């Protein structure tokens, strides 16, 4: 069996200009994921679950594990000196690493340290999402905001960790998507899913239907389409929504399906973060043969203008994503109240 570390080293030749830095960076993420996984598995036994009483920059209640995961990933990324700065969903501004070695590093990391953290209280799957870019500022200088506000197609690597019935780390460096499962007895990630591919067509749609009344007309029509009986297209489809992007995405990656988080009147720009959630998942989806759009545009082509920018997000099996786009174009005119 091949370990994650062995696999990363074996594929290092795909990035001859990296000189091993990207390999070390992914190793830092692996280490932090193991530490966070250990703490998640103790939830309920130690004082690590529940809200802190604080809010993050998006006005969302921070969970204790949000802060714990954020600190552990920052510490791991700073320690090896392969990252010059980090942006986190839990931090209002970018984090600059000022050490001499860090200032000479080539990469920045954007992350959602603990996606779906409110699910921890009820023992439901959560995850970590990360995105890696090559810095734009000169080597040796201090990292700038410009280094983080890059479109998704410029990502060097991206991935997620899913903490569920088993813990998996899934990543891409632009050469396919590969998954590694953690052996809890050894604390080692082993290659379990090489060259993962999303089926072009699935039978699962993932959306919070509790917000149905707020959705754009195109999304409403698509949901009704999914629910209609049609033997030729193998409908009705199955509705599955966990409320953790990592968990819903991972299931659809393996079984096929589409994940939808559209815009609506109270969230005209959507709710998911473009840089921390949409871009890395879109990169993974495309590398696995799927697609990701905001309903009209390819996610990876969107030029970010803000660190915590939000976006509608449609992602998964390519045929299903295309079909959603057709409904959006047909049933979502400019006067749709859900889009105002």
Q: Which residues are annotated as a binding site for substrate?
A: 115-118, 208, 241, 259-261, 271
CA distance 139 to 179: 32
**Could you write out the DSSP letters of every residue in 73-102?**
HHHHHHHTS-EEEEEETT-SSPEEP-SHHH
- Give kind and range of the element (H or E) at residue 320: helix 318-331
Taking every pair of Cα atoms in the chain, the longest distance, rounded to a whole number of angstroms, is 63
Q: Is the dihedral of CA 76, 278, 182, 241 positive or negative?
A: positive
Collapsing DSSP to helix, strand or coil, 300 comes out as helix
Closest by alpha carbon to 218, among 335, 322, 325? 325
Question: What is the 8-class DSSP label of residue 296?
Answer: S
323 backbone dihedrals φ, ψ, rounded to 5° = -65, -40
* Whether residue 314 has a cis bond before it, omega within 30° of 0: no
Binding residues for Mg(2+): 89, 112, 114-115, 277
Binding residues: 89, 112, 114-118, 208, 241, 259-261, 271, 277
């Amino acid at each position: 069996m091949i370990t994650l570390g062995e696999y990363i080293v074996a594929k290092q030749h795909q990035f001859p200009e990296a000189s091993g830095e990207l390999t070390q960076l992914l190793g830092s993420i692996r280490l932090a994921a193991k530490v966070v996984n250990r703490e998640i598995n103790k939830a309920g036994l130690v004082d690590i679950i529940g809200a802190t009483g604080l809010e993050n920059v998006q006005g969302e209640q921070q969970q204790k594990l949000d802060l714990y995961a954020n600190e552990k990933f920052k510490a791991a990324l700073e320690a090896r000196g392969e990252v010059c700065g980090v942006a986190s969903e839990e931090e209002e501004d970018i984090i600059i690493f000022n050490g001499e070695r860090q200032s000479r590093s080539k990469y920045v990391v954007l992350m959602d340290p603990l996606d779906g953290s409110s699910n921890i209280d009820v023992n439901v799957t959560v995850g970590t999402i990360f995105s890696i870019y090559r810095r734009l500022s000169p080597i040796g200088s201090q990292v700038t905001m410009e280094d983080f506000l890059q479109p998704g197609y410029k990502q060097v690597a991206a991935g997620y960790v899913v903490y569920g019935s088993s813990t998996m780390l899934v990543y891409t460096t632009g050469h396919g998507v590969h998954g590694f499962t953690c052996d809890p007895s050894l604390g080692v990630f082993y290659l379990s899913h090489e060259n993962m591919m999303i089926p072009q067509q699935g039978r699962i749609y993932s959306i919070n239907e509790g917000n149905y009344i707020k959705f754009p007309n195109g999304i409403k029509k698509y949901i009704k389409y999914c629910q209609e009986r049609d033997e030729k297209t193998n409908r009705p489809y199955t509705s599955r929504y966990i409320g953790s992007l990592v968990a819903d995405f991972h299931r659809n990656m393996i079984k096929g399906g589409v994940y939808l988080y559209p815009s609506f009147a109270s969230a005209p720009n959507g709710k998911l973060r473009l840089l921390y959630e949409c871009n890395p998942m879109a990169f993974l989806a495309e590398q696995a043969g799927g697609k990701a759009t905001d309903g009209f545009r390819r996610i990876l082509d969107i030029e970010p203008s803000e660190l915590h920018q939000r976006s509608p997000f449609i992602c998964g099996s390519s045929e299903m994503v295309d079909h959603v786009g057709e409904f959006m174009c047909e049933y979502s005119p400019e006067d749709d109240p859900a889009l105002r």
